[in-house]
Structure formats: structure tokens, C-alpha cells
Amino acid sequence: MGNRTYTMIKPEAVAAGNSGKIIARIEDGGYKILAMRKVQLSKADAEAFYAVHKERPFYGELTDYMSGGPIVAIALEKDNAVPDFRQFIGATNPQEAEEGTIRKDFGTSLQENAIHASDSDENAEIEIKFFFSVRDLVG
Ligand code: CMP
């Protein structure tokens, strides 16, 4: 199992002023921040990042939303990072997320679910590289 994952705080959570609270939860959960930056994605950036969902009916809406305001991009380190972090943030739909998870507390809908998490070690590496160079990652 790899020890890195990629996350981003999504536009509605950044706009609501919840970035700091979410980052504190992530650190309190035992995840080390290797790199972090606030980014405004273009529509083309969002389309490229979510290319895996190109055929899904929500792709257009998702990429409009993700390019609609700044996000905070973060590379994280922890043992077993990918599965642990997915469990830590809660189910994709905030209404189905467990009490006390980031998505439960900060997500507002299936699409506007506050935070992203990589779904495999392979995708974690691809997603980290999308936002950061090797020299940006500081352990
Ligand atoms: P994320 O973990 O970033 O991965 C893909 C995103 O697409 C997901 O979080 C949601 O924001 C969004 N998403 C997933 N399923 C749906 C859906 N059925 N309708 C709208 N958006 C969705």
C-alpha cells in the first residue's frame, strides 16, 4: 500500500471559509501535509482532472462547479493513505456520510461534497503530479 494521497477542498467549502477547519481536521487525523496551494481551476483544468468521469452524466456540471471558485490542493502522507483517507472523510454523498466526518459536517450535496480523495494509489500519484512537482513535496 502506498503512503500518499491527494485531496482538495472544493469551491463551496473554500467560499464558506471552512478551509482552515478542514485542514485542522486532516492534521488531527494524523495526515502530514507534503504540499498545499490554493488554485483557481479553469474549465479545461477541471475536465482534465476529472477525465475519468467524462462519460458520466454529471461531468459537465461537476467541471463547471469545480472551476467556479478556488480550491485548495493538498498532497498528504500517512501509512495506508488512500483507503484510510476515503474512510476518514465519509461517503461521497454527505447525507450518507458518518457523523463527525468532513463530508457530513461541511458537504452540502452529492456534488458539493466539500472534499475530494484519490481512489487508488495509482490515481493518487497522477493527481499529486497534476498540481505539484516533485520538489514541492516536503516530508
Ligand atoms: P469526488 O470524490 O471528487 O469524485 C467525483 C465527484 O463527482 C464526486 O466527488 C462528486 O463531487 C461528484 N459526483 C459523484 N457522483 C455524482 C452524481 N451522481 N451526481 C453529481 N455529482 C456527482
Q: How far apart are CA 123 and CA 17, in angstroms?
A: 28
Ordered by where they begin, the domains of the chain are: 4-136 (3.30.70.141)
Query: What share of the chain in percent tops pLDDT 70?
Result: 99
Pick from 85, 102, 101: nearest CA to 33: 85
For the question of residue 116 being annotated catalytic, the response is yes
What number is the average pLDDT over the span 87-104?
98
DSSP letter, residue 67: T
Please tell me the distance between residue 135's alpha carbon and the centre of ligand 1 in angstroms: 30
Question: Which residue's CA lies nearest to atom 1 of ligand 1?
Answer: 116
Exposed/middle/buried for residue 51 (C-beta within 10 Å: 0-12, 13-18, 19+): exposed
- Per-residue CA distances from 7 to 27, 55, 57, 63, 130 (Å): 13, 23, 23, 16, 12
Please give the model's pTM, rounded to 2 decimal places.
0.96
Ligand 1, residues 10, 62, 130: which to mutate, most atoms within 8 A of Cβ? 62
Please tell me the distance between residue 92's alpha carbon and the centre of ligand 1 in angstroms: 7
Tens of pLDDT, residues 36-52: 999 999 999 999 999 99
